[in-house]
Amino acid sequence: MVLLFHTIALLLLLLSDSVSSQALTLNIRDNGKICSQWVKPGANGQFSVSYAQQPECISAVAFEQANGQARLCCKGMPLTTPPASFPKECGKQLYQPLRQRIIGGLIAHPNSWPWQVLVRGANNMCGGSLIDERHVLTAAHCIKSLVQVNDYKIIIGAHEINKPMYMEQELTVSKIWVHEQYTASTTANDVAVIRLTNPIKLSDKVNIICLPGAEAKSVNDTVWVSGWGRTAHNGDTSPILKQTYMQTMGTKCSTYGAASFNEEKQICASQHGVGYTCQGDSGGPLMYEYEGRWYLNGVVSYGPTDCGVGTGLPSVFARVKYYLSWIRSKMASL
């Protein structure tokens, strides 16, 4: 189905597929609505777009116009759910993530990755994963050696970083452990544990992810990554949390240019041979689902400098299972 929107807001509904149009996805939450991205008109001053029905729409799709651009919106299904239905177990979420395997990623549902946190430093931004009520796992290279602990803040419940939501919390940090054998030149042992000043209270919007066990994914398995990283080489970081799926690659990683890849300590993953993680995604989770729970398989470590767009190189992640003893020793320390 194709919709033509004139700049004076005349709506024409065509039942023919003969009109060339932009395919839009309604996946952006905005003040109770679910909207598409903003698009510009064609040379004739009209907007020609097609869209698929969004199951979470509870009203008809409508046309909105502002500043010479247009988008499609509908009234979205409420996200609020009685707290009694909150699954109080690791790796469980009340708000289910989108599962479409879209190349290049798509905007995540708010709070569908409730363990995703934003790590803010004095001059940098990274992702991280909540692994218990007081600890966050992130990448060692996200922690700057000359920056004080007080300069770091952990944001939980975040979705659109430029428009804080009511459920967001900004938390202070009491201690940070960078792996003692972390090597910046090779990014070996690229893990760090952050301790929050006070434990958080889990809710329907904030939960912890499970640490991996014997079921950990290795090769040719589907995994998911989320973050606010750049969406293009030299581009801006994404203001809205995005997600994408990838496939684990095993030892093939070294043949794709990751010369220092260590399969015991690291995981290599790509999407059709392309990494798709970029600056700003660092420290965030590489996740897999097993029997209805989500597990932390890896920590975003590094990828190609062009974010995989030109070189087609994969992304590399610190393998969480390898570091479990180290992680738990820091969590248990005074």
For the chain, the domains span 2-75, 116-207+324-332, 222-321
CATH architecture of 222-321: Beta Barrel (2.40)
159 counts as catalytic: no
- The CATH homologous superfamily for domain 116-207+324-332 is Trypsin-like serine proteases (2.40.10.10)
141 counts as catalytic: yes
Which phi and psi (to 5°) does residue 237 adopt?
-65, 155
Of 135, 141, 159, 179, the catalytic one is: 141
β partners of residue 293: 290
Contacts (Cβ under 8 Å, ≥6 apart) of 163: 239
Name which of 297, 258, 296 is nearest 275 in CA terms. 258
Which phi and psi (to 5°) does residue 270 adopt?
-150, 170
282 counts as catalytic: yes
Of 190, 204, 226, 315, the catalytic one is: 190
* CA gap 297, 245 in Å, rounded: 13
Half-sphere CA count of 150, side-chain side, radius 13 A: 0
Which residues in the chain show pLDDT less than 50? 1-20, 81-84, 103, 273-275
Asked if domains 116-207+324-332 and 222-321 share a fold, the reply is: yes
Tell me 251's DSSP state: G
Look up residue 297 and give its amino acid: N
34-70: per-residue pLDDT in tens?
888 888 887 777 777 777 767 778 788 888 888 888 8
96-137: per-residue pLDDT in tens?
777 665 545 678 888 899 999 999 887 888 999 999 999 999
The pTM of the full predicted model, rounded to 2 decimals, is: 0.71
Of 36, 282, 301, 315, the catalytic one is: 282
DSSP secondary structure string for all residues of 170-237: EEEEEEEEE-TT-BTTTTBT--EEEEESSPPPP-SS--PPBPP-TT---SS-EEEEEE--BSSTT-PB
Half-sphere CA count of 276, side-chain side, radius 13 A: 23
Check residue 259 and give its pLDDT.
59
Name which of 55, 57, 50 is nearest 5 in CA terms. 50
